[in-house]
Chains A and B, each alone.
Chain A
Amino acid sequence: MRRMDSRKYFIAATAIAAIATGGWLSWQLMQTPQALLAATLLPAPAELAEFSLTDQHGTEFSRDSFKGHWNLVFFGFTHCPDICPLTLQVLADARRQMQEKGLDVLPRIVLVSVDPERDSPEVLGRYVSHFGDGTVGLTGEMEQLRSLTTKLGIYFEKSGIDGDNYTVDHSAVIIVIDPDGKFSALFSAPHEAGNIAHDASLFMSRF
């Protein structure tokens, strides 16, 4: 009889130890940070320079306007037939994937025009509307644009100038600006929607 009791105690103790070990391992796994697939995090988020641009509604957009949102910022122009619409479509796809995964808060897509001569707020408004309601288009004075881009390390320059026709070479990076309005991460080109959705979800869950 006493031997039976000892056996039961042994089995019960073993089961408890197994459950505890499993729980501890699960907890450890949950604590392990998921790896980023494509983004590069800055060691410390960086302040933006002061600037004043205009959004597609004609409203002033300043450094503080980034605050309160996760922002995926791309620098391009509406006369660009290939890279710019492709990148904006990738961003729109990433945001859709995040929505389908049930995220309540979605990042805002921001297109900053590097061709303010041709991209008026009206032109940008029609253009960005193709990439979803949460998309913002910014344009403005060259000096103000440079204030924003210089601090972020964004390059842009006209090229292939032939009268009124020209193109604009520009950085293809996607800049992540966090809800504190700080530059906190970037995605280097080429871009892939699944990677952006994955990494942006991670940033947003940890903030």
Chain B
Amino acid sequence: MLRILLLCACATVAACGGQQASLVVEDLVLTRPITGSAMGAGYFTLHNRSGQLIRIDRISSPDLAGVAMHESILQDGIARMVELQDIAVAPHSSVVFEAGGKHLMLNYAATRPGVVTLQFFAGPAMLLSVQVNTLE
């Protein structure tokens, strides 16, 4: 069966700080690593429903060996993956993480957790914690 198995999806937002209602994540999909690889990708849309700019400078997970914000760039026929230091979400706007563009690089290492928690940080403040149930 030709498919990339998907870990997915119902996100639940935990209350973590004052801006949690301002930052909303939707359409969250995590790709499971293809056998032979430890790496998966995360795709979603971040909405800033506040009147202030929100700058995410780290996304982490206690369930994974590593999470990094990356962007795939195709330039002059060369595919490059660039690590993003932060993501700025302008007031009342959205940023899309999608295949072939901005995405999360997820390092599963040897783990295959049933539930993955993603935490979105601005400096020391955790703005959002999202639990993603894995679906077979």
Contacts and interface: CB of A to CB of B under 8 A. Distances in A.
Interface in A52-80: 78-80
A172 interface: yes
B79 A127 contact: no
Contact of B39 (A79, A86, A188): A79
B51 interface: no
B77 A81 contact: no
Interface size class of B (residues with CB under 8 A): 20 to 34
A144 interface: no
Given A80-B39, A82-B41, A89-B4, A172 B74 contact: yes
Given A86-B99, A127-B37, A189-B74, A80 B2 contact: no
Contact of A167 (B31, B36, B81, B103): B81
Interface stretch (A5-13, A18-26, A129-137, A177-185): A129-137
Contacts of A93: 2
B131 interface: no
A169 B81 CA distance: 7
For chain B, what secondary structure do more than half of its interface residues adopt (helix, strand, loop), or is it mixed?
strand
Contacts of B82: 160
A185 to B, nearest CB: 15
Interface string A154-195: 010001100000010111110000000000000011100000
Interface size class of A (residues with CB under 8 A): 35 or more
Contacts, number: 91
Contacts of A125: 36
A48 interface: no
A78 B100 contact: no
Given A96-B2, A130-B4, A81 B103 contact: yes
A78 B108 CA distance: 13
A170 B78 CA distance: 5
A85 interface: yes
Nearest to A135: B2
Contacts of A131: 2
A164 to B, nearest CB: 11
A189 B99 CA distance: 14
B36 A82 contact: no
Interface in B1-32: 2-4, 31
B92 interface: no
A82 B2 contact: no
Nearest to B79: A172
Given A89-B3, A128-B36, A130-B3, 11 more contacts: A79-B37, A80-B39, A81-B37, A82-B99, A86-B100, A131-B2, A159-B80, A169-B81, A173-B77, A189-B74, A190-B74
18 contacts: A79-B39, A81-B31, A82-B99, A82-B103, A82-B105, A83-B72, A89-B4, A96-B2, A126-B34, A126-B35, A128-B36, A130-B3, A132-B2, A169-B79, A171-B77, A172-B77, A172-B78, A189-B79
Interface of A: 78-83, 85-86, 89, 92-93, 96, 122-132, 155, 159-160, 167, 169-173, 188-190
